[in-house]
Structure 1
Amino acid sequence: MRLDQIGTSWLDELPSVLWFYRTTPRTATQETPFSLTYGSEAVVPAKFLTSSPRIAAYAVEANEEERRTDLDFSEEKSDAAAARMVLYKNILTSYYNSRVKNFRFIPRDLVLRKNSVSRVEPQNKLSPNWEGPYRVVEISQNGYCKLAYRDTVLVPRTWHAQNLKLYFS
């Protein structure tokens, strides 16, 4: 249910939305925020009203012992969740980086520069996306290029290669 469809009574729905958010496992950690914070899973309030096997098998002494065990393992549980999150981020990074085409400019290449990055002229809907051409004068190891105008006067700033594209005249 979306809050904007409810109208003015969205405040009444806020607790159930927060409950849902806190008790849904996250993709990166495979754990719920509630379990990472408190060390155990939450019981849905509706389960207290109806008889369920979980409520029927409740024993105070066993519950206290299980709770202490859960608290002892809570740090290990959060460490495992952090390791899963790092693994998840690495998988996402490799997925997106697999589509990146590495291209190295060489000196004397003619390139165009993104207009939105240079901000030489105010941007509007009909303005061109690229400006130039410029000549690549020098390239650094980390992907930055020094550019020059066609009359060999240097452009005041260096530019990252991701903001440039090859110009074919």
Structure 2
Amino acid sequence: MPFSLTYGVEAVIPAKVKLCSARVTGFDSDENEELMARELNLLEEHRGMATIRLAEYQQKLAQRYNRAVKRREFAMGDMVLRKVVGNTQDMSAGKLAPTWEGPYHVTAIAGAGAYYLEDLEEKPLPRPWNVRNLKNFYQ
């Protein structure tokens, strides 16, 4: 439990103390100190197991997410369309404005899924574009 992982003991709520439950009437302070010392020795082990479970959960979650991801890679010379971002979109067209513009040629690979582009008149775009904002022209 999170409380026992943080503080090393389980909590007793005040209502149980006032009602004289079996847990409160059977309380022995010497035995409690001995049990607390034993639990303190196991605390790091409990925290380690919780960390391992968390890492396993995160790995499984990443595998599940990455199963649906489709990798896209482009080579130099490929023709691609570029997604229209908010500041370059024509506001006068309203919701019927195109979402893709182009075509563009891939001129160089900037690395990590980013590409340098140029238009059909061989005028380069000012910055590299991420693969999420590109798609094949021939799809």
What TM-score do the two structures reach when normalised by structure 1?
0.67
CA distance 1:40–1:115, shift in 2 (3 Å): farther
Tell me which amino acid in the other structure corresponds to 1:131: E
Quick one: higher RCO (CA 8 Å, sep 6+), 1 or 2? 2
2: CA distance, partners of 1:42 / 1:123: 60
Aligned residue in 1 for 2:70: 101
What are the superposed Cα offsets for residues 68-116 of structure 1, whole Å, 9 maximum, x if unpaired? 1222222222222222211111111111001111122223322222333
Report the equivalent of 1:163. 133
The aligned residue for residue 110 of structure 1 is: 79
Distance 1:44 1:131, change over 3 A: farther
Q: Does 1:85 align with 2:25?
A: no
- Alignment of 1:47 with 2:16, yes or no, is yes
Tell me what 2:45 maps to.
76
Q: Which ranges in structure 1 are unaligned for 5 or more consecutive residues?
A: 1-30
Pair member with larger Rg: 2
Stretch moving more, 120-129 or 93-102: 120-129
3-state DSSP of counterpart to 1:104: coil
**Cα–Cα, structure 1 residues 58 and 115, in superposed 2: closer, same or farther, change >3 Å?**
farther
SS at match of 1:67: helix
Q: Give unpaired runs (5+ residues) of structure 2.
A: none
CA distance in 1, matches of 2:15, 2:100: 59
CA offset at residue 122 of structure 1? 8.0
Q: Secondary structure at the match of 1:63?
A: helix
| Equivalent pair of 1:116/1:123 in contact (CA under 8 Å) | no
* Inter-CA distance 90–74: structure 2 relative to 1 (3 Å threshold): same
Q: Secondary structure, in 3 states, of the residue corresponding to 2:82? A: strand
RMSD: 2.7
SS in 2 for 1:48: helix
Question: Partner of 1:10 in structure 2?
Answer: none
Q: What is the TM-score normalised by the length of structure 2?
A: 0.79
Match of 1:132 in 2: 102
Identical-pair percentage: 36
Q: Does the residue aligned with 2:107 lie in a helix, a strand or coil?
A: strand
